Amino acid sequence: MKNTISERIADFLKNYPPFNAMDARQLEQLSLEVTIIHKETNTIVFGQGESPHNNFYVVNKGAVALSKAGSSQILDICDEGDVFGLRPLLANESYKLEAKAYEETILYAIPIKDFKPLALENKRIGNFLIESFASNTGNPYSIKHRGKLYGESSESNQYSSDKMLDLQPIKYSTKLITCTEGTQIKTIANKMTKHNVGCMLVVRNDLPLGIITDKDIRKKVATGLHPITASAQSVMSSPIITYPKGLTLAQSQMAMMKSDISHLVLTEDGTTDTKVVGILSKHDIMVAVGNNPAVLLRAIKRATKAKRLRGIRHGIMNLLQGYLEQNIPLGLVSKIISELNDASTKQVVKIALSKMDKEPPVKFTWLSMGSQGRGEQLLNTDQDNAIIFEDVPEENLETTRNYFLKLSERISKMLNTIGFEYCPADMMASNPSWCHSLSEWKKVTTHWIHNPGPDEILLSSIFFDYNVTYGDKALADELSQSIFDNVQGYPLFFTHLASGALQNPSPSGFFRDFLVEQDGEHKDFFDLKLRALMPIIDAARVLILSHSIKSINNTAERYEKLAELEPNNKELYLACSYASKALLKFRTRQGLLHNDSGRYIALDKLNKEEKIKLKRTFKTVKEIQSLIEVRFQVKNLLR
Amino acid sequence: MWPFSKKKPLELPDFWWEYEAHFNEKLPEGVHENTFVVLDTETTGFSLTKDRMLCIGALKLLDNNIVVKESFEVYIQQEHYDSESAEIHGILKHSKKNTISELDALKQFLVYAKNYVLVGHHVMFDVNMINAALKRNGLPKLKNKTLDTESLYIRTLLISSVVQKKERYSLDDLAKKFSISRKDRHTALGDAFITAIAFLRTIEKLKPQKMKDLLR
B68 part of contact set with chain A, CB < 8 Å: yes
B164 part of contact set with chain A, CB < 8 Å: yes
Rounded Cα–Cα distance for residues A157 and A286 (Å) = 12
Are B163 and A431 inside 8 Å of each other by CB?
A: yes
Name A178's Cβ contacts closer than 8 Å, sequence gap at least 6: A200, A201, A202, A203, A276
Rounded Cα–Cα distance for residues A50 and A97 (Å) = 9
The verdict on residue B2 lying in a domain is no
Chain A closest CA to B78's CA: distance in Å? 21
Rounded Cα–Cα distance for residues A118 and A113 (Å) = 9
Rg (C-alpha) for chain A, rounded Å, is 28
Predicted ipTM? 0.82
Among A317, A521, A505, residue whose Cα is nearest residue A418? A317
pLDDT for res A317: 80
Is the pLDDT at A139 greater than 50, yes or no?
A: no
Rounded Cα–Cα distance for residues A32 and B70 (Å) = 9
pLDDT for res B117: 93
pLDDT for res A266: 84
Q: Are A130 and A120 in contact (CB under 8 A)?
A: no
Put residue A573 in one of left, alpha, beta given phi > 0 → left and psi -120 to 50 → alpha: alpha
Q: Mind listing the pLDDT tens digit of every residue in chain B (216 residues)?
A: 555 555 555 578 889 999 999 999 888 888 888 899 999 998 888 888 888 888 999 999 988 899 888 889 898 887 655 555 555 555 555 455 678 888 999 999 999 999 999 999 999 999 999 999 999 998 999 999 999 999 888 888 765 555 555 678 888 888 888 877 777 667 888 889 999 999 998 888 888 878 888 886
Name A99's Cβ contacts closer than 8 Å, sequence gap at least 6: A44, A45, A46, A57, A64, A65, A66, A78, A84, A85
CATH number, domain of B204, equals 3.30.420.10
User: A133 vs A534, which has greater pLDDT?
Assistant: A534
Q: Are A250 and A221 in contact (CB under 8 A)?
A: no
How far are the Cα atoms of A372, A515, B98, B103 from residue B206, in angstroms, in the given order? 25, 22, 40, 38
Q: Which helix (H) or strand (E) holds A57?
A: strand A55-61
Q: Mean pLDDT across the stretch A206-225? A: 87
Rounded Cα–Cα distance for residues A200 and B118 (Å) = 62
Is the pLDDT at A142 greater than 50, yes or no?
A: no
Is the pLDDT at A543 greater than 70, yes or no?
A: yes
> In terms of CA atoms, which chain B residue is nearest residue A414?
B179
Reported confidence tier of residue A291, pLDDT bands at 50, 70, 90: low
Are B68 and A106 inside 8 Å of each other by CB?
A: no
> In terms of CA atoms, which chain A residue is nearest residue B67?
A35
Q: Mean pLDDT across the stretch A523-529? A: 76
Is the pLDDT at A135 greater than 50, yes or no?
A: no
B67 part of contact set with chain A, CB < 8 Å: yes
pLDDT for res A348: 92
HSE of A154 in the Cβ direction (CA atoms, 13 Å)? Answer: 5
Is the pLDDT at A495 greater than 80, yes or no?
A: yes
pLDDT for res B195: 92
Among A74, A56, A64, A71, residue whose Cα is nearest residue A40? A64
**Out of A373-382, A530-539, B10-19, B50-59, which region has the weakest mean confidence (pLDDT)?**
A373-382
Which of B68, B165, B193 lies nearest to residue A31, judging by beta carbons?
B68
Reported confidence tier of residue A164, pLDDT bands at 50, 70, 90: very low
Rounded Cα–Cα distance for residues A484 and A478 (Å) = 10
pLDDT for res A315: 78
Name A580's Cβ contacts closer than 8 Å, sequence gap at least 6: A533, A536, A537, A540, A555, A556, A559
Q: What is the pLDDT of residues A338-360, one digit of tens each?
A: 888 888 899 999 999 998 888 89
Rounded Cα–Cα distance for residues A113 and A107 (Å) = 18
Q: Mean pLDDT across the stretch A557-577? A: 91
The verdict on residue B6 lying in a domain is no
The verdict on residue B14 lying in a domain is no
Among A318, A309, A407, A326, residue whose Cα is nearest residue A361? A407
> In terms of CA atoms, which chain B residue is nearest residue A12?
B181
Q: Mean pLDDT across the stretch A587-614? A: 77
Are A433 and B59 inside 8 Å of each other by CB?
A: no
The verdict on residue B209 lying in a domain is yes
Chain B closest CA to A115's CA: distance in Å? 16
Reported confidence tier of residue A517, pLDDT bands at 50, 70, 90: low
3-state secondary structure at position A567: helix
The verdict on residue B91 lying in a domain is yes
Which of B66, B177, B197 lies nearest to residue A422, judging by beta carbons?
B177
Q: Are B97 and B91 in contact (CB under 8 A)?
A: yes
Rounded Cα–Cα distance for residues A485 and A112 (Å) = 70
Rounded Cα–Cα distance for residues B213 and A520 (Å) = 10
Name A619's Cβ contacts closer than 8 Å, sequence gap at least 6: none
Average pLDDT, chain A: 80
Chain B closest CA to A496's CA: distance in Å? 16
3-state secondary structure at position A126: helix
pLDDT for res A144: 38
Q: Mean pLDDT across the stretch A302-308? A: 82
Rounded Cα–Cα distance for residues B196 and B121 (Å) = 9
A461 part of contact set with chain B, CB < 8 Å: no
Name A455's Cβ contacts closer than 8 Å, sequence gap at least 6: B160, B161, B162
Which of B65, B179, B187 lies nearest to residue A37, judging by beta carbons?
B65
Reported confidence tier of residue A29, pLDDT bands at 50, 70, 90: confident
User: A426 vs B102, which has greater pLDDT?
Assistant: B102
User: B9 vs A254, which has greater pLDDT?
Assistant: A254
> In terms of CA atoms, which chain A residue is nearest residue B162?
A455
ω into A140 cis (within 30 of 0): no
Rounded Cα–Cα distance for residues A184 and A182 (Å) = 6
The verdict on residue B13 lying in a domain is no
Domain count, chain B: 1
Is the pLDDT at A448 greater than 70, yes or no?
A: yes
Are B189 and A5 inside 8 Å of each other by CB?
A: yes
**A472-480 long-range contacts, CB within 8 A, separation 24+:** A472/A363, A472/A364, A472/A365, A472/A390, A473/A365, A475/A363, A475/A364, A475/A365, A475/A388, A475/A389, A475/A390, A475/A438, A476/A365, A476/A367, A476/A388, A478/A438, A479/A388, A479/A438, A479/A441, A479/A442, A479/A445, A480/A550
How far are the Cα atoms of B9, B22, B213 from residue B25, in angstroms, in the given order? 21, 6, 20
Are A8 and B201 inside 8 Å of each other by CB?
A: no
Residues in B closer than 8 angstroms to A39, CB to CB, are 64
Are A32 and B68 inside 8 Å of each other by CB?
A: yes
- Angle at alpha carbon of residue A593, lines to A592 and A596, rounded to 5°: 60
The verdict on residue B143 lying in a domain is yes
Reported confidence tier of residue A136, pLDDT bands at 50, 70, 90: very low
Q: Are A331 and A338 in contact (CB under 8 A)?
A: no
The verdict on residue B123 lying in a domain is yes
pLDDT for res B165: 58
Rounded Cα–Cα distance for residues B134 and B130 (Å) = 6
Determine the structural domain holding residue B100 and report its residue range: 35-213
Reported confidence tier of residue A97, pLDDT bands at 50, 70, 90: confident
Positive or negative: CA dihedral B12, B18, B20, B24: positive
DSSP string, B34-99: -EEEEEEEEES-S-TTT--EEEEEEEEEETTEEEGGG-EEEEE--SS--HHHHHHH---TT-SS-E
Chain B closest CA to A522's CA: distance in Å? 9
B174 part of contact set with chain A, CB < 8 Å: no
User: A452 vs A101, which has greater pLDDT?
Assistant: A101
Rounded Cα–Cα distance for residues A32 and A28 (Å) = 6
Rg (C-alpha) for chain B, rounded Å, is 18
User: A633 vs A561, which has greater pLDDT?
Assistant: A561
Q: What string of H, E and C letters represents the secondary structure of A413-449?
A: HHHHHHCCECCCCCCCCCCHHHEEEHHHHHHHHHHHH
Residues in A closer than 8 angstroms to B193, CB to CB, are 4-5, 8
> In terms of CA atoms, which chain B residue is nearest residue A462?
B162
* Inter-chain contacts counted by CB atoms under 8 A, chains A and B: 86
